[in-house]
C-alpha cells in the first residue's frame, strides 16, 4: 500500500446502530504498478452508544436493546446470503467484517455505483416482487434467524407503543401542540385513539399470520439502483429477521411519504401495485398465501409501525415552519390511509 485516506460520509438521518460511515480510498502497489482502491466502511455498534439511546427511559433500556441486536448486520455480511438471494437482489461485496470490541464491528464493503432515480410505481412494484421472493425463499430462512427478534410486532408494541406512543395519543397535551393542531383534526385523533384501544386484538391477528424473512427496513434508500445492472442492491440489515408476510411493504410503500418526499395522495395506487407484486413474488417461490391474508397483515403492520406514530414527535420541540406543516399534513393523510386500509381489510 502506498497511500490511503479516510473521509466521513455525510448522511442526513440518524440510525440506531450506525456509529459512522466512511470512504477509505488510496492506491496499492502490486509488482511494478499501482492501482486505486476504495471501500465503504460502516461502523456498526450497540445503540447503547447512540445519542438517541439517551432518550429511552431507564426502565425500558434493556427491552430497547433486545429489540435491536446490533450484531445482526455484521452477521449478515459474514454469511453467504448473497448466494441465496433471488435474481435481481444482491448485496454489496463484503471484503471483511472485523470486531472492534464486544459492542461494535466494522464492515468493509465494495463500492456500489448507485444512481439517484425517481421511484415510480413500476420500480416500487419490481422491488415488492423481489421482497416477496425474499420473504418466501426457504434457502434464506436459516440466515433470517441471525439476531431475529421473536414476534417483532408484539415486541415493538410492548415497548415504544405501550410506553411512549399510546400515552401521548390517549392524553390531551400533544393534540394542542401548534404543529399537530394544524394537521391532525379531531376525527383523526379519535380514530387513532380507537385504534390504540384495539391494539391487543390486532396483535392477536398478527400472531396468527404466516411468517417469512423480512429485510426489516425496505425503504427506497436501502434498495440501491445501479446504472449498469437491473435489480437492487440491499443494504442496512439492522432490522433483519423473521416476521409476518407483508412486513416489508410498510417501509417500501410509506417510507418516502414519512420523509416528506412523496405525497400521500399516491398511496392507494402505490399500495395496490406493491401488494399485487409482493404476492406474485411469494407465489414464484411456491408460497400460496391468499391476497386477502397478506393485505390484512400489511394493513395491521403499517398502522402499528407507522400509523400510530404518524405524529412527528421528533419535531415537536422546535419552531413550527411551513415545511414541517407540509410534512405533518402528508403524514396525517397517510395515517388516514392506513386506518382506512385496516377497516377495508377487516375479515
Confidence (pTM) = 0.93
| Cβ-contact 281, 246 below 8 angstroms | no
Pairing, β 89-90 against β 232-234: parallel
- pLDDT at position 79 is 96
- pLDDT at position 229 is 86
Write the CB contacts of 306 (distance below 8 Å, at least 6 apart in sequence).
250, 254, 258, 334, 338
- pLDDT at position 2 is 63
The 8-class DSSP code of residue 111 comes to P
Which position has the grid cell 422491488? 127
The Cα–Cα gap between 332 and 180 comes to: 9
Straight-line distance from the first to the last Cα atom of the chain, in angstroms, rounded to the nearest whole number: 64
Q: Which residues pair with 29 in a beta bridge?
A: 34
The count of other CB atoms within 10 Å of the CB of residue 52 is 13
Pairing, β 223-224 against β 211-214: unpaired
Coil, helix or strand at residue 3 = strand
The Cα–Cα gap between 268 and 253 comes to: 10
Pairing, β 241-244 against β 104-109: unpaired
Q: What is the mean pLDDT of each run of 10 residues along the chain (347 residues)?
A: 79 82 88 86 92 83 86 95 96 96 95 91 98 97 89 91 94 96 97 97 97 96 91 94 96 94 96 98 97 98 97 90 95 98 95
The Cα–Cα gap between 328 and 200 comes to: 27
Q: Which residues pair with 313 in a beta bridge?
A: none
Burial of 278 (0-12, 13-18, 19+ CB in 10 A): buried
| Closest by Cα among 104, 110, 91 to 44 | 104
Burial code (b: 16+ CB inside 10 Å, e: under 16) for 106-126 equals bbbbeebeeeeeebeeeebbb
The Cα–Cα gap between 35 and 38 comes to: 10
Pairing, β 232-234 against β 223-224: antiparallel
Q: What are residue 274's phi and psi, to 5 degrees?
A: -70, -40
Amino acid at each position: 500500500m502506498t497511500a490511503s485516506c479516510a473521509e466521513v460520509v455525510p448522511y442526513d438521518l440518524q440510525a440506531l446502530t450506525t456509529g459512522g460511515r466512511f470512504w477509505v480510498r488510496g492506491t496499492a502497489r502490486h509488482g511494478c504498478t499501482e492501482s486505486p482502491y476504495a471501500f465503504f466502511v460502516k461502523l456498526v455498534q450497540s445503540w447503547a452508544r447512540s445519542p438517541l439511546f439517551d432518550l429511552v427511559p431507564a426502565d425500558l433500556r434493556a427491552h430497547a436493546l433486545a429489540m435491536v441486536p446490533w450484531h445482526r448486520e455484521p452477521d449478515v455480511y459474514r454469511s453467504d446470503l448473497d448466494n441465496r438471494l433471488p435474481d435481481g437482489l444482491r448485496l454489496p461485496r463484503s471484503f471483511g467484517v472485523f470486531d472492534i470490541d464486544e459492542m461494535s464491528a466494522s464492515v468493509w464493503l465494495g463500492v456500489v455505483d448507485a444512481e439517484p432515480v425517481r421511484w415510480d410505481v413500476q420500480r416500487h412494484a419490481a422491488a415488492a416482487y423481489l421482497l416477496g421472493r425474499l420473504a418466501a425463499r426457504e434457502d434464506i430462512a436459516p440466515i433470517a434467524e441471525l439476531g431475529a427478534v421473536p414476534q417483532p410486532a408484539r415486541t415493538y408494541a410492548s415497548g415504544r407503543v405501550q410506553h411512549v406512543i399510546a400515552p401521548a395519543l390517549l392524553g390531551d397535551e400533544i393534540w394542542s401542540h401548534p404543529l399537530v393542531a394544524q394537521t391532525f383534526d379531531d376525527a383523526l385523533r379519535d380514530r387513532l385513539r380507537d385504534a390504540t384501544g384495539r391494539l391487543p386484538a390486532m396483535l392477536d391477528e398478527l400472531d396468527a399470520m404466516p411468517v417469512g424473512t423480512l429485510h426489516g427496513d425496505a425503504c427506497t434508500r436501502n434498495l440501491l439502483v445501479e446504472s449498469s445492472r437491473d435489480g437492487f442492491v440491499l443494504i442496512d440489515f439492522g432490522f433483519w429477521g423473521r416476521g409476518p408476510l407483508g412486513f416489508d411493504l410498510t417501509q417500501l410503500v410509506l417510507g418516502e411519504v414519512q420523509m416528506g418526499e412523496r405525497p400521500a395522495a399516491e398511496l392507494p395506487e402505490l399500495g395496490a401495485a406493491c401488494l399485487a407484486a409482493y404476492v406474485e413474488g411469494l407465489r414464484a417461490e411456491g408460497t400460496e398465501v391468499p391476497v386477502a391474508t397478506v393485505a390484512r397483515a400489511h394493513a395491521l403492520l403499517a398502522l402499528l409501525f407507522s400509523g400510530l406514530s404518524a405524529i412527528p414527535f421528533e419535531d415537536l420541540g422546535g419552531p413550527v415552519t411551513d415545511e414541517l406543516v407540509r410534512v405533518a399534513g402528508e403524514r396525517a393523510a397517510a395515517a388516514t390511509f392506513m386506518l382506512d386500509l385496516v377497516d377495508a381489510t377487516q375479515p
